[in-house]
Amino acid sequence: MQIVRTLLGLREAVNTYKAANERIAFVPTMGNLHAGHLKLVEEAKLSADRVVASIFVNPTQFGVGEDFAAYPRTEVEDEQKLAVAGVDLLFLPSVDDMYGDSAKTVISVKNLSTLHCGASRPGHFDGVATVVCKLFNRVQPNLAFFGRKDFQQLVIIRAMTKDLDFPIEIKSVETIRESDGLAMSSRNSYLGLEERKTAPKLYQALCAARDEMLMGKKAVQAIEQDAKIFLQNAGFIPDYFTVCRASDLLNARQEDTDLVVLAAAKLGKTRLIDNIAFTVAR
């Protein structure tokens, strides 16, 4: 696996792939890799001749008081995992390389970025959209792979890619879960032992809400409220628990069919997000 740290080194490697008419898949990450990230690489390898991955803990998507400084950084272990997984090129830029000291441009996906996590973390998705846009311009892949665990992020990146005419196919990969249902996340390492035992109840609440929606006997608002009470009783502090239309993440109506339940809640000091998507027959 080749490792590059500068835009020049990245461009030289990518240009070599393009000169050979090789199809490039891109897997952007913030490191501290787990099986979910490696599943993205696995899917990317099935779809392209070359796989480019990046590790960059992006400061612009962290708000004041969030965990940018404490975010787990495991570069050596991550390099080993990506090499074993068959990544061809790893891009490891610095903050200065990505932004310099005079960056003025911010990408903002209107409406979608201020819902749900965006309401609780102002500016977060602007930071995500901006860094993904910059990485797309640098790597210039044919395909890019993202996990469905952050469903809102996925919808935002799809919208940005379409609106800015990037010739990139966005591929989504199912959330990888622990045996007890907890969605794999780099932030799971923040959980204490007792919190780790409690954490799967977030997914349990999502599954229960999905089942209630499929039965169609209870109002959406009642399902959401029941879930919040369940989570509070389990020790969570719910941020939101919302049944949405999968297409635009607006609140679901009784007649909508393609749905996703989005949830975020704090457990101790750890903020967990998860979702479950499904179709209701009408």
* Type of residue numbered 214: L
What's the pLDDT at 253? Answer: 84
Given a contact cutoff of 8 angstroms between Cβ atoms, the answer to whether 64 and 80 are in contact is no
Q: Which residues contact 30 (CB under 8 A, 6 or more apart)?
A: 55, 56, 57, 58, 71, 186
- Domain 186-275 class? alpha beta
User: Roughly what angle, to the nearest 10 degrees, separates helices 124-139 and 151-163?
Assistant: 50
* Spans of the chain below 50 pLDDT: none
Q: Identify the bridge partners of residue 145 per DSSP, sorted by sequence position.
A: 171
pLDDT tens track for 179-221: 999 999 999 999 999 999 999 999 999 999 999 999 988 999 9
CA separation for the pair 85, 25 (Å, rounded): 14
DSSP conformational letter for 113 = G
> Whose CA is closest to 182, among 265, 72, 120?
265
Q: Identify the bridge partners of residue 25 per DSSP, sorted by sequence position.
A: 51, 143
What's the pLDDT at 216? Answer: 87
In the block, residue with structure tokens 């499929």: 214
How many CB atoms lie under 10 A from the CB of residue 15? 11
CA separation for the pair 3, 80 (Å, rounded): 11
CA separation for the pair 272, 204 (Å, rounded): 13
**Number of H helices and number of E strands within the chain?**
10, 9
Reduce the DSSP state of residue 205 to 3 states and report it: helix
Threshold 0.85, pTM exceeds? yes
Known catalytic residue at 34: no
CATH 3.40.50.620 occupies which residues in the chain? 2-173
What's the pLDDT at 254? Answer: 79
In the block, residue with structure tokens 């032992």: 193
- Which option is the CATH number for 2-173: 3.90.25.10, 3.20.20.105, 3.20.20.70, 3.40.50.620? 3.40.50.620
Cα separation values, 269 from 67, 111, 180, 188, 253, Å: 10, 28, 21, 11, 33
Given a contact cutoff of 8 angstroms between Cβ atoms, the answer to whether 127 and 151 are in contact is no
Please report the sign of the dihedral spanned by the C-alpha atoms of residue 70, residue 176, residue 28, residue 238: negative
Given 34, 37, 116, 124, the catalytic residue: 37
For 119-202, list the strands marked E by DSSP: 143-147, 169-173
